[in-house]
Amino acid sequence: MTIPDMTNKTCQGQFILLGFSDRPGLEHVLFVFVLIFYLATLAGNVIIILVSCLDPFLHTPMYFFLTNLSFLDLCFTTSSIPQLLFNLSGLDKTISYVGCAIQLFMFLGLGGTECILLAVMAFDRFTAICKPLRYSVIIHPQLCWKLVSVAWGIGLLNSLVMSPVTMKLPRCGRCQVKHFLCEMPALIKIAWVDTVAVESTVFVLSVTIVLAPLSLILISYTHVALAVMRIKSAVGRRKAVNTCGSHLTVVALFYGNIIYMYMQPGRNSSQDQGKFLTLFYNLVTPMLNPVIYTLRNKDVKDSLKRLVSRQ
C-alpha cells in the first residue's frame, strides 16, 4: 500500500496515521478483529450501565462507580476505534488537525480520569471491608458524586496541560504519525525540535497521574489484605476476596499497559510494541472490564436474571 508522501509539504491541516499500513495483509484481519471487539465493548458496557441503573438492588456506591467506569470505557474506546476502523478499511489514512487534537485531548483526559476512578473504587472497597459498620456513613451519595467529580476534573486538567504542549510542537511538514491514533509519544516523535524538555515534563506528569493513584490503590489493598486475614469465617474471607477480585483484575490490566507505555522515555519505546499495546489498552481492556465484573460478581448476574425474567 502506498502512503502519500507529505514529509516535504505543509501539513495542510491534517495528519496521516500510518498505523499498520506497512502490513497490508494484517489490516484486513485487524479490521474484523477490531470491529468484533468494539461491538462487544459497546454491548458489554451498555449492559452494565443499564443493569446498574434499572435494578434498585444495585443502587449502591460500588455500582455507581462501576457505572462511571463503564461509561468512561465507552467514551475512551469510541474516541479512537471508529477512526481506526475507517483507516483500516481503505487507502485514506488522514485525520484533520482538529480531529487529531480532539482525539489526543480525549485520550489523555479519559485515561487520567480512569487512573483516579480506579483509586476511588479501591477506597470504596477498603471502606466496605475494613470499616463495614461505618460504610454507609462514610461512603454517602454526596461523597460519591464529589469523588467522581474529582476524578473527571483531574482527567480534564491532565488533558488541558498535556494536549496543547504536544499539539503546538513545530513539525515543519512532518505529518506522518507512526501510530493508528494521535497518541502523545507518537506526536512528540515527529517534532522538528529537540523534545527532551517536553518528554521530561510528560514523564513527570505521567508519573504523577499514574503512580499517585496506584500508590493509593496498593495502600488500600494492603489494609484490605490484613483485614481479610483477620476474618475467621472461610465464607467471609471468600466473600471479601470475590468483592475485591474483579477490581484488582481490572487494575492489573489497566496499569500493566499504561506503565509500560508511559513510564519510559518517548524515543526508546518500540513502535510496533507501542501500537499493539495501545490497541490492547484501547479496545481489549474496555471489553474485558464488563466481562470480569459480570462473571465474578453474583449481584450483577442475579440482577441480569431478574431483568430478563421481568421481560
Contacts with 131 (C-beta within 8 Å, 6 or more apart), sequence order: 138
Domain 14-310 listed as CATH 1.20.1070.10: yes
For the chain, the maximum distance between any two Cα atoms, rounded to a whole number of angstroms, is 71
**How much is the pLDDT for 155?**
92
For the chain, the average pLDDT equals 83
Strand extents, DSSP E, the chain: 14-17, 94-96, 176-177
Lowest mean pLDDT among 13-17, 60-64, 188-192, 300-304: 300-304
Stretch 125-139: mean pLDDT, rounded?
A: 90
pLDDT confidence band for 170 (50 / 70 / 90): confident
Q: Phi and psi (nearest 5°) for 269?
A: -85, 145
**How much is the pLDDT for 232?**
77
pLDDT confidence band for 307 (50 / 70 / 90): confident
CA distance 306 to 298: 12
**How much is the pLDDT for 40?**
92
Stretch 192-221: mean pLDDT, rounded?
A: 84
Q: Is the separation of the CB atoms in 150 and 264 below 8 Å?
A: no
Lowest mean pLDDT among 125-139, 194-208, 239-253, 267-281: 267-281
pTM of the full structure: 0.85
Q: Report pLDDT digits (tens) over 241-292.
A: 777 877 888 888 888 877 776 655 444 455 566 677 888 888 888 888 888 8
pLDDT confidence band for 311 (50 / 70 / 90): low
DSSP-assigned letters across all residues of 182-226: --HHHHHHT-SS--HHHHHHHHHHHHHHHHHHHHHHHHHHHHHHH
Contacts with 202 (C-beta within 8 Å, 6 or more apart), sequence order: 162, 165, 166, 184, 188, 262, 266
